[in-house]
Every structure is written in C-alpha cells, then in structure tokens.
Amino acid sequence: MAQLTYREAVGEGIAQEMRRDSNVVFLGEDVAAAGGVFKTTVGLLEEFGPDRIRDTPISEQAIIGAAMGASMTGLRPIAEIMFSDFFAVCWDLVANQIAKTRYMTDGQCSFPLVLRSANGGGSRFGAQHSQSIENWAMAVPGLKVVAPSNAADVKGLLAASIRDPDPVMFFEQKSLYAIKGEVPEGEHVEPLGVANIVRSGTDVTIGALAAMVPRALKAAEALQNEHGVSAEVVDVRCLVPLDTQTILESVARTGRFVTVEENPRLCGWGAELASIVAEELFWDLDGPIVRVTTPHIPLPSADELEDALMPSPERIVESVKHLVD
C-alpha cells in the first residue's frame, strides 16, 4: 500500500489507465503544464506528452464538445470541468447529447468518456464555486454518477469509470484533496455500483457520500462512545448505478435509516434512497427515515456560515439521537 493524498490518487488513476490503453486522452483547462488548478494532474504531461494531455481554451462547451466527438471516433477521453458548478454552462451537451445519443442511434454511437470535476463545499469558494451537483446528474437518464470519499476509491473508481462503455460523471470533493489514505499499488479497479460498509453497527444505518462519509464516521464514533448507539455507516460511492441491495440489507438489520447529504435538501439524492427504503422495508423500520442535508439556499463563503449550513458530525449525532431515543 502507498500513502497518497486524494489529489495524488486522481493522477494515479488517470496514469494507470493511460499506460494501459493508448486510446485514453485527457483534456481541460490548465491540466497539462500547470498540473491542474487543484494539482491533481501533476506529471501527466511529462509522461504522456501533449498529444494525449491537452490544455484547452476557457470554454466548458468546447471541452465537452471535443470530448464527445473524440469518444464517438473510438477514443476514451477524460474531460475536466474545473468546478462542477460550471457544468451549468455546458449542460445541454451533457444532458441532451452525451446522455441520449447512444439510445437515439440504437447503439451506433457510444460515449466511453469521463467528465471529472471538483465538486462541493467546505473550501470557502462561495455560492458559484461550491455547489454539490451530483443530484443534477443523477436525474438524467444515460449518465453514470460516481463520488468517492477516499484516496483508494478515487484511484479504483476512476479506473473503472475510464473503462466503462458509458459516460460517467466523476465528482471529486474538493475539500478532500489534501486528505491522505492507503492506496493499493499497481493496478487497482473498484467496480461501479457497489456501496461499501465502512463501519458496522446494529442500531441505525447512516448512508453518506463523498465528504459526508468521514463526517458520518466521526459522528458514529461519538454516538458509540458518548451515547452507546451503534451506527453502521454505508459509503454509497455511486449514485448511478445505485447499490440498493447493500443499503436495504443494512437497514433491514438496523431498523433505522439516516442519510447525510451535502446537496440542498430539495430533491437531494437521499430523497430517492428514502423512497426506496420506505417502499421496500416499511414494516422493518423502527422509526421515520431522517435526512441530514444542507438547507435549500446558496452556500456562503464566510467560514462560520458555510460551516453552519453543511452537515456536521454534531448535527448528525443530534439527528440520530432524536431518532433512536
């Protein structure tokens, strides 16, 4: 095992697949000579050269359009949109073209491409650079949606996304970039659509994604040590495909379900999980399903305000205590 930061794991995952497959190419703003604005792609230009690692103009539409065309011709492009908020600028290409053309051409055109982006809050970038938009992508048929919580999953899930025959939106939570973790050396691939139970428990299931996973784990530790509540934490990892089996089996054991979502509350991904659990396990539940979310307002840039709005370990603990008591 190697000790890598979340950001270093991004470069490791890309490099692994570029070494394996000469059809993998990478493009985006400042991704080549500068090594990425978040320094996730340092060294790739030196190893793979300017034909495969390409800087682009400051145009999200150009980046996505070029990636779409490249994938139609047999390449496997990785396209970086610097901040996930900027998908709003090129959403027609993503939602109306890339997501639908394979279906509309009866498979004559396919899109084996990955759209990477820095997602979410916690880094004081303000309302237009801090949105967590995985629920946007989840709502569009034809897109796969991945959001890793740790360095090992970054490498493994990114590799699987690059190999996948369908378009994948890969969301890297920017506040996690500096976090270190153990990452398998050599080839590492994690299958898409498989959730991971990162802490076992008996009293309540907590479903979390990306940056909310370490917060849920911290809350679970406090619940056990301070309140005697045993919380099982499920890292959802992929929203599409969604591993409902792991989540349902966990909730069937514990009888209680809490989601922790960075998304604004209205139409967040946890609402879909709550609907599935309520439909499938209504008679197994020992209490209402609880969602811990960000309020339905833009994120402020002030430290205290952003911290107050995003789900915290303390707020998770209070929500679980209220459910269990």
pLDDT tens digits, one per residue of 54-64: 999 999 999 99
The CA distance from 207 to 188, in Å, is 25
pTM: 0.96
Residues 115/168, Cβ–Cβ less than 8 Å: yes
Q: 3-state class of 238 per DSSP?
A: strand
pLDDT tens digits, one per residue of 197-255: 999 999 999 999 999 999 999 999 999 999 999 999 999 999 999 999 999 999 999 99
Q: Specify the pLDDT at position 325.
A: 84
The CATH number that domain 196-324 falls under is 3.40.50.920
Give percent of the chain with pLDDT exceeding 90.
98
DSSP string, 252-285: HHHS-EEEEEEEESTT-HHHHHHHHHHHHHGGG-
Task: Answer yes or no: is pLDDT of 312 > 90.
Answer: yes
Query: Residues spanned by CATH 3.40.50.970 within the chain?
Result: 2-183
By annotation, the residues acting in catalysis are 129
Which amino acid belongs to residue 180? K
Which of 245, 221, 254 lies closest to 323, judged by CA? 254
Query: Residues spanned by CATH 3.40.50.920 within the chain?
Result: 196-324
The CA distance from 10 to 29, in Å, is 16
* CATH top class, domain 2-183: alpha beta
Which of 213, 292, 201, 217 lies closest to 251, judged by CA? 201
